[in-house]
Chain A
Amino acid sequence: MIISRRKLIVSGLAATAGASGLAVAARLANRYGLVPPDHGGIYGLGETLTYASQRLLTRHAMAREFPRDQISPRPFPNEVAPLTEDFRRLQAGGFADYRLSIDGMVHQPASFSMADLKSYPSRSHITEIACEEGWSYIAEWIGVPLSEILNVVGIHPQARYVVYVSMEPDTWDSIDMADALHPQTFLCYAMNGNDLPVVHGGPLRIRLPRQIGYKNLKFITRLTVTDSLKKFGKGCGSAACELGYAWYTGI
């Protein structure tokens, strides 16, 4: 096959334009927070497309809320890892000594007891929690919006993520500021009118109704506000991600 010079020049120009177009798109996507921390590897393309398109389309969208009569009569408690010695001690004391600490890019690092958290106006929503396996249930989730607590400690303007750590061993995750400041994102301490049962993550669980169940970690004990996830674990944003599970789970 003979390729004419014109064809060669045209395809060369097209390839250059395409490559620079992609480079510009990547820069813009990064600048506007459309690239997830686990964008590397063979599944990075899918993860990035999902995260970017959902951030563009659904940044401020509210998770569906349900009428009270649709609350599941028997919420299914998924398996939790065996409780640690430390946790049992706190549980024996009625969680009076349970603390949530906040550090990182905040003006005033702080530590909250359960009573402190409950002193802020409580909010609730009746939303569905859905597991990546396929099952789901609806409950009324009661707590304090994470944005309220972030306001109390004051976050730096360059903050981009909130890392949250569970009392379950090697269990931590993170969310971007769109989710951290979303009005339905709760530090949840009660469910269906009662204290949050330990099997459901009591005394304190993070509740993200726009993300899959495994992102809604139980036994939250520490928050770190940061501008980069590179320093945390392997840098892909969560312990789940290190086990091959996606960081962003709006899908």
Chain B
Amino acid sequence: MKLDRSRALVLPLALLIGLLAGAGDGLLGICGPFTDVAADVFCPFVLEIFYLGITTGTTSTTYDPASNVSRLQMAAFLSRTVDGALGRGSRRAALDQFWTSQNDSAFGLTTLNTATTPSGMIRSDGADLWVANRGGMVSRVRGSDGKLLETWTGATMGFGVLTAMGRVLVGGGTNPGNLYEIDPSQPAGAVSTVASSLGNSPFEIAFDGSRVWMANIDGTLSIVTPGAAIPWTATTVTSGLSTLRGLLYDGSNIWAANQVPGRLLQLDPAGAVLNTVVVGLNAGFPIFDGANIWVPNSSDDSVSVVRASSGVVLATLTGNGLSSPQVAAFDGQRVLVTNNLTGADRVSLWKAADLTPLGSFSTGAGTKPFGAASDGVHFWIVLAPVNKLARF
């Protein structure tokens, strides 16, 4: 079996010189560097995957066009295709931002006027970031330059944040819980309470296209149906577990993460449990990457990667700076996880497509990173003890 050669294609010196000199493919081969590919309608396709690095040829001058492709070779081609398409198609590529910030001195920092109250979650609306905190304030920060635009008030014990329906919704971690609403097109002021009498101390909130879901610390789920009049209708169902925290929607189902025991629950539209997946201890705030769910497990310093379509645990990631991991975020290519253990002060980064580690990075001493989200260009990280929002 002829295997396509590895990524590192070393061109013969003569060929390299020829390419640098702008030599035409007639001098080098019939189709680009390849002497065994006809200059016909298929040549541009071969050249495209060669120039993109999807294939390196069987030698520096041959492509072996008539041979079949083995499944092993195909894996290489497809893997490189995915990586190339995601890399080129990202907004970071168009903005010429191929770097990964290596330390906290390279971050952009925004000072929030939320004092140093415990952090809540953060979400992007595509342009601005919305940050909740337990002190009742919700900050709006412009993504392009990190400027603090507005601070809304009255979101008592604000924690979870959701941007949906043209609004910003914030979960109030009171007992009973509340759901607050912000109309971002209006001047900043006090939030509106659109639902109350929810489950005890909601953490994360999610949206399924018509209803708002809230995961509550008492193990219940509150399902809120937006309506024309306030209060919005809410139902609260029990999950059978005791300490729900994280929540997400994968395009088909809501999933909830339970702290102890560490479980990830797949829910039906009524909130009934369809599927219980065993994950690590103290499951936190997961993220969906389009195929898999990444669940930070704070007590065993791991991240469980669960295939959403089947509920199968694909891998349990450890190391790479994980130290009381709390919140996961996805930017289209990478998954970032915040580590909240005192003294850890790091975020961990993985390549989402193959689960390989990309390193961990300090956010600065005493910063205890918690909430995290992406706007498609940057990751944004809440550093509550120092009252900052970091752009990674």
Q: Do A and B bind each other?
A: no
